[in-house]
Amino acid sequence: MQAPVKGRVLLSVAGFDPQHWRKRLSAGREVVLDRERPVDTSIHYAVVWNRHPGLLVGLPNLKAVFSGGAGVDHLFADPDLPDVPIVRVVADNLTQYMTEYVVWRVLDHHRQGFLYRAQQRRKAWIEPPQPAANRVSVGIMGMGELGRAAARALLTLGFRVNGWSRSGAPVEGVDVYGGSAGLDAFLGATDILVVLLPLTPATTGIVDHVLLSKLRRDNALGGAVLINAGRGLLQNSADILRALDDGVLKEASLDVFESEPLPETSRLWTHERVFVTPHAAAASDPDHLATFMLEQMDACDRSEPLRNLVDRKAGY
């Protein structure tokens, strides 16, 4: 008996090489880069990253949408997003990349990279005092898959680690604060703020001057530091620049921006105490993801539960 024909996959991943994704996903299903007609019944699954709104309209047999990344704000930005389950990326290699990024940026600020680079330009041989890691508190906003992994690595290096999440759920070795009631205490106990939140209506614009001014400035590092690898729209760049200029912030490392690519006119590019990366902290890799996605599609066909499902009400 012939195996039943599997539903097709619509693949639409802006900013990625679609042929790479297509090759990997084609191991299990027929993959199309575009619908063939306004109403296309052959498509049962979609793999999507940063595409235009309305892309998923007219797919009456769509069973689930797979986000090409960990964040799903790009999907919720579509007012016509169909009411089907959404699966997001949770992958060991993506988590590892993000952990590396966070550890790299925390260590660079902690070990005074900005100061030494400036000294090198002047050929200045000056050894400033170096605080021990256990005198520095790193506060992570967003204690999800990525925040928890970064916390574990920072604890191993000897930093004190605070966390902030919606639920305030406990994480071993971390002082976790929950919800808006816990936010001020979390900020007041934090020297280096690491933002790993999802972008939702509740978190949009949260990193503003008011929030930054609540960080602990009188600390072993000689000022507060911001690291944002979550989403650009979590932050207000004008407020970050103001905070850098008025002493609320000592330094910042930013991987994400309100508008990407970061416009050439942005002062963030040239600010001497800002480190810019082009949304490169942790990229999805189809070599690591396609098998999981195909397994999930088969599970969905068998009416089995999907893993890494997004909570549509919470928006992440």
User: What is the DSSP track for the chain?
Assistant: -PPPPPPEEEEEETTS-HHHHHHHHTTTS-EESS-SSSS-TTEEEEEEESPPTTTTTT-TT--EEEESSS--HHHHT-TT--SS-EE----HHHHHHHHHHHHHHHHHHHTTHHHHHHHHHTT---------GGG-EEEEE--SHHHHHHHHHHHHTT-EEEEEESS---BTTBEEEEHHHHHHHHHHT-SEEEE-----TTTTT-BSHHHHTTS--SSTTSS-EEEE-S-GGGB-HHHHHHHHHTTS-SEEEES--SSSSPPTT-TTTT-TTEEE--S-SS---HHHHHHHHHHHHHHHHTTPPPSSB--TTTT-
Catalytic residue among 35, 44, 74, 231: 231
Name the one range near ligand OXD by CB under 6 A: 64-72, 108-116, 155-163, 215-223. 64-72
Q: Does 89 bind ligand OXD (CB under 6 A)?
A: yes
Contact (CB, 8 A) for 257 and 269 = no
Q: Among ligand OXD, ligand NDP, none, what binds residue 255 when CB lies within 5 to 8 Å by partner kind?
A: ligand NDP
C-beta nearest to ligand OXD: residue:
69
Binding segment toward ligand OXD, per CB under 6 A, in 11-19, 65-73, 170-178, 286-294: 65-73
Minimum CB–partner distance for residue 288 and ligand NDP (Å): 13
Q: Which is nearer to ligand NDP, 145 or 175 (CB)?
A: 145
How many residues bind ligand OXD, per CB under 6 A?
7
Candidate list 9, 59, 65, 70; residue touching ligand OXD; CB under 6 A: 70
Q: Which position has the token pair 């520095």? A: 136
Marked catalytic residue, from 135, 152, 279, 288: 279
User: Amino acid letter at 136?
Assistant: V
Report in angstroms how near the CB of residue 291 gets to ligand OXD at its nearest.
18
CB of 263 to ligand NDP, least distance (A): 18
Q: Which does 203 bind (CB under 5 to 8 A by kind): ligand NDP, ligand OXD, none?
A: ligand NDP
Q: If contact means CB under 5 to 8 A according to the sort of partner, which of ligand NDP, ligand OXD, none does residue 286 touch?
A: none
231 is annotated as an active-site residue: yes
Judged by CB under 6 A, the residue of 7, 9, 55, 69 near ligand OXD is 69
Name residues contacting ligand OXD, limited to 249-278 (CB under 6 A). Answer: none
Q: Does 284 bind ligand OXD (CB under 6 A)?
A: yes
* Site residues, ligand OXD (CB under 6 A): 69-71, 89, 282-284
Report, as residue numbers or ranges, the catalytic residues: 231, 279
